[in-house]
Chains A and B, each alone.
Chain A
Amino acid sequence: MPARPDAGRLVTPAMIGLWLVLASVPLWIGKVGLYPYIGVEILIWSIYALAFNLVLGTAGLPSFGHGAYFGVGAYAFGLAQFHLAYNLWICLGVALMTAGLAGLIVGLFISHRRGIYFAFLTIAFGQIFWTIAIKAYGITGGEDGLLRIARPPADLGIVAFDLRDNVALYYFVLALFVVVVVALWRLVHSPYGRVLSAIRQSETRAAHLGYPVWLYKLSVFVLSSALSGLAGGLFAMAQLSAFPDVMSLNQSGLIVMMTLIGGGLVSFWGPVVGVVVFLAARDLIGAVTNAWMLYFGLLFMALVLFRPEGIAGMVKSVLERRALRAQGGAALRLLFRSG
């Protein structure tokens, strides 16, 4: 991503605009025939997709088994609640740390690998975690899932918010979303983030410049899986349960799809756009036909063929063209006035 004028800011106008729109969602979502829960889902998947795009879009690492960390976070949230403490912060912290630890173990194996070998190792580890989730019946509840997960209140010391209502949960997830967006924006535009995009452009060149490429790959993988785990913890909280299917290869493929449809390769906001489009399409096309995956798959194929930079890329190129035209107009005016 080229340097942008607002790259150095902590909070950009686009962020504030998006947050305001998101904050108003519970007021009107009922009126357009949807329900607050889909808002919660969109926010959680957005956190997940932003975390995933740190690996795919920023560092250019093809990770196709990311569902594993989302799932590990979901199970860790539930298990922490049952066996450790009924406290929201502890549970979410455990979800984050456990998924980060899983990411660290996997990262140590894959950080020296490239291309197809990297990609397939992420799939293999994803399948390993998925199989464990299904077979370790005593811990995870197997294919029945981990049920009866509760939503502990968000205790801030002075006040405690009850999150059992979906609207309350929505605002809680929104608050976390705000934190994650600010943190990731800083990270992507920090010197660390610049090295990551250098690695995306050419691993060999970055290595020759003296950067310890494997360490960057490892650390970004750990960060991304920890944040995916946080999203997974929130998902367990929203669903009141944790199931192995979020860890399956198909679901891991879906997050790749969402990120790319939105345009994660060219834009910070791409993953969020992709999640909104995907979940909205699922609910809207899914309401009309059972075979919505068929149409979505065709749409995806068309996008890969004709607009590989995704929706955000499309918007970007339209804006750039308009800017160019404006510039061209100004130049012409200058020419005629002087001539």
Chain B
Amino acid sequence: MGQPVLDLLPHIVNGLVLGLLFALIALGFMLIVGLMEQINLAHGSLFALGAYLALQLIGPKPPLPDDLAALWLQLPLGWRYALALLIAPCIAGLVGIAVEVCMRRTYGKDPLYGLLLTFGAALVIEEGIRLIWGTRDYVLPVPQALSGGFIFQDLIWSTYRFYAAGIAAAAIGLVWLLIEKTRYGAMIKAGAHDSEIVRALGINLSRLRLGVFVLGTMLAAFAGIILAPIWGIRPHMGVDAVVPAFLIIVLGGVGSFWGAVMAGILVGLAVGLSGAYASEWSLLSMYVLLVAVVTVRARGLFGKKSLLEA
């Protein structure tokens, strides 16, 4: 046994990796909450849907005519994986369009209605998944280069986790650029504050909101594909994703981008470290963390005043 800090180090690294993944799970949810002040409870189901769609695309029976399917299957796994990573979120985005079109009727009303509507949508999507793919567990195949592990400092590390954490960091950076550094981000944020003025300036707010919502659902599906090889694919994975996503937003504080990212990393660290000592109870740690933080800080870490606490 070495020094206690060195013993802890692998757990901290694992926790940080896990934290980035949690932040990735919350990213789409965060986008919709932050820019539209709407809670998308279907986030988890779309997350699961993304994973199932990718599985169908990569797996032995793609939804294509026979000759095309044969051609598709000749592609190396790496290519199929990369294409599935692009195509599956687009298909999930179509579902997102349908949900947003329904949700329009609730804008301007109590945010509870949007939440309930998406809860209904979550039930429908989850049951749909059960109907199509059944209740069994699946494993998403990943390219050879990403699977397996490597040895560093006498410890075995999973390659895939580091790859996933890298992707998560990149996605977080891109979304931040979109919100903070482009006109679109500014327009949508202004729309959440004063939709009348934004419309009067000649901006098509409905289309912008549709765009944000669809991007949020695509991010959910994307996160589902990235997380699938780690968590496995099963109908319940949606609930396993939406609860941490929601938790991270509340912990970070509604309306704060970096608050949510930090909350994700904190949750990852909490789950990772508690997992090392009391693995049975590690999932509890994030709830305890949330209760502790929100008891002291009423709006989470960096929350701003928002419509969602009226």
**Residues in A lying within 8 Å of B, measured CB to CB:** 62, 109, 112-118, 120-121, 123-125, 127-128, 131-132, 135, 249-250, 253, 256-257, 260, 291, 293-294, 296-298, 300-301, 304-305, 308
Which residue in A123, A124, A301 is a CB contact (below 8 Å) of B120? A301
Asked if A294 meets B250 with Cβ closer than 8 Å, knowing A124-B290, A304-B113, A305-B105, the reply is no
Contacts of A308 in B (CB 8 A): 109, 113
Across the interface, B298 reaches (CB within 8 A) one of A113, A135, A253, namely A113
**Smallest CB separation, A150 vs chain B (Å):** 31
B120 partner residues in chain A, CB cutoff 8 A: 257, 297-298, 300-301, 304
Bound Cα distance A260, B299 (Å): 28
Which A residues are in CB contact (< 8 Å) with B290? Answer: 120-121, 124
> A124 with B287: in contact, given A117-B298, A294-B128, A305-B106 (CB under 8 Å)?
yes
Task: List residues 211-252 of chain B with CB under 8 A from any CB of chain A.
Answer: 239, 243, 246-247, 250
Interface centre among A124, A131, A132 (most CB of B within 10 A): A124
Query: Do A300 and B309 touch across chains, with their CB atoms under 8 A apart?
Result: no
Interface size range on B against A:
35 or more
* Given A253-B119, A257-B119, A305-B102; A128-B310 close (CB under 8 Å): no
Cβ contacts under 8 Å, A131 to chain B = 281, 283-284, 287
Which residues of the other chain, B, contact A120 by a CB distance below 8 angstroms? 246-247, 250, 290
B82 at the interface (CB under 8 A from A): no
**Neighbouring A residues of B126 by C-beta, 8 Å:** 293
In Å, the complex CA distance between A123 and B41 comes to 13
Beta-carbon contact of A135 and B280 below 8 Å: yes
24 pairs of residues in contact across A and B, judged by CB atoms under 8 Å: A115-B309, A116-B250, A116-B306, A117-B298, A118-B309, A121-B291, A121-B294, A123-B246, A124-B247, A127-B284, A131-B281, A132-B284, A135-B281, A256-B119, A260-B116, A293-B123, A293-B127, A294-B123, A294-B128, A297-B123, A300-B116, A301-B117, A304-B117, A304-B120
Residue from B123, B288, B295 within 8 A of A128 (CB atoms):
B288
Interfacial residues of chain B within 88-135, with CB under 8 A of chain A in the complex: 102, 105-106, 109, 111-113, 116-117, 119-124, 126-128, 130-131
In the assembled complex, the CB of B73 is this many whole angstroms from the nearest CB of chain A, namely 31
Contact A113 B123 (CB under 8 A): no
Task: Report yes or no: A117 in contact with B283, Cβ–Cβ below 8 A.
Answer: no
Q: Is the CB of B124 within 8 A of A114?
A: no
Contact flag A291-B123 (CB < 8 Å), given A116-B39, A117-B300, A121-B290:
no
Find chain A residues with CB under 8 A from B57 CB.
Answer: none
- Answer whether residue B168 sits at the interface, using C-beta atoms and an 8 A cutoff: no
* Assembled-state Cα–Cα distance A182/B63 (Å): 59
Q: How far is the CB of B222 from chain A (nearest CB, A)?
A: 24
| Known contacts A123-B243, A249-B239: A301-B39 contact under CB 8 Å | no
Inter-subunit contact B310/A114 (CB<8 Å): yes
Among residues 266 to 310 in chain B, which have CB atoms less than 8 Å away from a CB atom of chain A?
280-281, 283-284, 287-288, 290-291, 294-295, 298-300, 303, 306, 308-310
Q: Is B30 among interface residues, defined by CB-CB distance under 8 A?
A: no
B188 within 8 A of A: no
Task: Determine how close the nearest CB of chain B comes to the CB of A119; give it in whole angstroms.
Answer: 8
> Which of A62, A250, A298 is B124 in contact with, Cβ under 8 Å?
A298
Q: Is B254 an interface residue (CB 8 A)?
A: yes
